[in-house]
Structure 1
Amino acid sequence: MLGIVLLTTLNPLPLEAYYVQYKEQFYRLYHLHYIQNPDDTMENIYWLEQAIKADFANPLFAMALIENETQWEKYRYLFMMHAHLKLIEQYLYLGNKWNKRNAYFYNAPWKEQNLESLETAETCYRTALYYWQAARDWAEKAQDRRFRFINLPRVQFWEDEAGRVEDGRLDYEKIITRELSLLQQVREKFQAMDENTY
């Protein structure tokens, strides 16, 4: 009881502000949500885009152990590739929230709203496609021959991603192109609807 009284009467120490300014700090603010609400996804997109624009922290504070300039260069390429891949995932999540997979006849009264929703989904998918080109460029730099025997164990997953991008096992262009094609088919079905559809 005395402990509770002491805790409530003592003034807590003021907390120091945490100024976020480096890529690694912004990246740490990105996190997966249990339920991917559009607001949560847009929050992640914001943090990842800030991470891409910011400067790198000192190599002492990198997310991998950096011991020389070559490791530092490879780390930067891998980081940028990974951040772009995460942006692609987030834009795909966001586009999926507005993508209509089918144009059911009973949705005809809301034809215009459905077409607007498809337009939003298409914008998300096209933005993801833009980031895919950048991710491929960064992956190509990270897979340069100079880095062949440079291993960064703490970010091994990033290295695996770069390898999958290089050999084509990870191809977001194929996935996004398929989504855009299916979206166009659904759009055409909605556009074909008239007052006799429902």
Structure 2
Amino acid sequence: MFSLSLGAWETDIDYNYEYQKNGPYTKFSDWVPYKLHKWEPKYLEDFYELYNLKQHYNDNELRKNIYWLKIALGKRFRHPKHALCETKTEQEYYKYRNLMFMHINIQIMRSYMRLGSKFDKRHVYFYNLDFAHELKESFTVAESFYKEAIPYWEKAKEYADKANEVPVDLDLGTIETERYEIVTGKLDFGHIIDTHLNRLDGKKKIVSEYLAKYPEADAKALDLIDQTN
């Protein structure tokens, strides 16, 4: 008897009813305003947390990180209660802000250097000169990225000096280590960038001398192949 009544009850259930948003079967989640599900970055820390660098990255990911971090530099900070670490005094919060500015500038600088390295070559061998025209253009791009990194390094040093005025270590992990290494001179990206630019000048000289000797090689490799054919 029970099985018969259960079977009859099951036949009355409409398993395949058409879902109507404003009908009797409206889901509870649809009553929640859509805006509650959205997250919009507003503060410096929000944009900083959008920074992401995978182990294997490409140009677009580096450019995206630069974009977010540059926006972060123009935003105001969260309320101290919602900072990325605990700050108990105004002096600590002052140091926190300068450390964040320092670190963001360093990350932008690093991203520009990574972009530059993707257009640079560690060595120029004789067989690389078959692509002398491409190397000339690539080295020009690399140089522009390396030089773009310089002002962000200078800014990072300024903020490191300001943060160093407060003799308290904040719980910001390696950011405090960066500050210490910058003010003590252990970390000097100015020297590193100059080294990259000097080496790049040497490689550009090799390419320029080759193109001066063989001016017909100053064309894209594919164009040269078409000419020979």
| TM-score, length of structure 2 as denominator length | 0.76
1:163 corresponds to: 180
Q: Does residue 97 in structure 1 map to residue 114 in structure 2? A: no
Q: Could you tell me whether the CA contact under 8 Å between 1:108 and 1:197 is conserved in 2?
A: no
Quick one: distance in 1 between partners of 2:148 and 2:82?
A: 31
Aligned to 1:191: 208
What is the letter of the counterpart of residue 138 of structure 1?
Y
Q: How many residues align?
A: 188
Aligned to 1:69: 90
Query: Which amino acid is the alignment partner of residue 92 of structure 1?
Result: M
Q: Which moved more, 1:38-47 or 1:95-104?
A: 95-104
Whole-angstrom CA distance in 1 between matches of 2:138 and 2:49? 31
Q: Structure 1: give runs of 5+ residues left out of the alignment.
A: none
TM-score between both structures, scaled by the size of structure 1 = 0.87
What do residues 2-46 of structure 1 show as CA deviations (whole Å, max 9, x unaligned)?
A: xxx89xx78555462211121100000001112121111111111
Q: Residue 55 of structure 1 corresponds to which residue in structure 2?
A: 76
1:176-187 superposed matches below 5 A: 176-187=193-204
SS of the counterpart of 2:187? coil
- Specify which of 160, 167, 172 is matched with residue 189 of structure 2: 172
Aligned runs of 1:15-94 on 2, under 5 Å?
16-94=37-115
Q: Secondary structure at the match of 1:29?
A: coil
CA contact (8 A) 1:77 1:142 kept: yes
Separation in 1, partners of 2:62, 2:144: 15
Residue identity opposite 1:172 in structure 2? F
Moved over 6 A (4+): none
Superposition RMSD in Å: 2.2
Residue 129 of structure 2, aligned match among 91, 100, 108: 108
Amino acid at match of 2:214: E
Task: Indicate the SS of the match to 1:100.
Answer: coil
- Report SS of the residue matched to 1:20: coil
Instruction: Work out which structure has the larger RCO, using CA pairs closer than 8 Å and 6 or more positions apart in sequence.
Output: 1
Matched ranges for 1:118-133 at <5 A:
118-133=139-154
CA distance in 1, matches of 2:110, 2:135: 23
Matched to 1:22, the amino acid is Y
What is the CA–CA distance in structure 1 between the aligned matches of 2:215 and 2:85, rounded to whole Å? Answer: 62
Q: Structure 1 pair 196/87, CA: closer, same or farther in 2 (3 Å)?
A: closer
1:56 & 1:116 partners in 2: Cα distance?
41
Counterpart CA distance in 2 for 1:67 and 1:75 is 11
Instruction: Name the stretch that deviates more: 109-118 or 188-197.
Output: 188-197
- In the alignment, structure 2 segments of 5+ residues that lack a partner are 1-14, 20-25, 218-229
CA deviations over 1:37-80 (Å, ceiling 9, x no partner): 11111111111111111111111211011222111101001100
Which residue does 2:169 correspond to in 1?
Answer: 151
Q: 1:128 Cα shift?
A: 1.1
Query: Contact 1:36–1:93 (CA<8 Å) still a contact in 2?
Result: no
Paired with 1:103 and 1:157, the residues of 2 have a C-alpha distance of 36
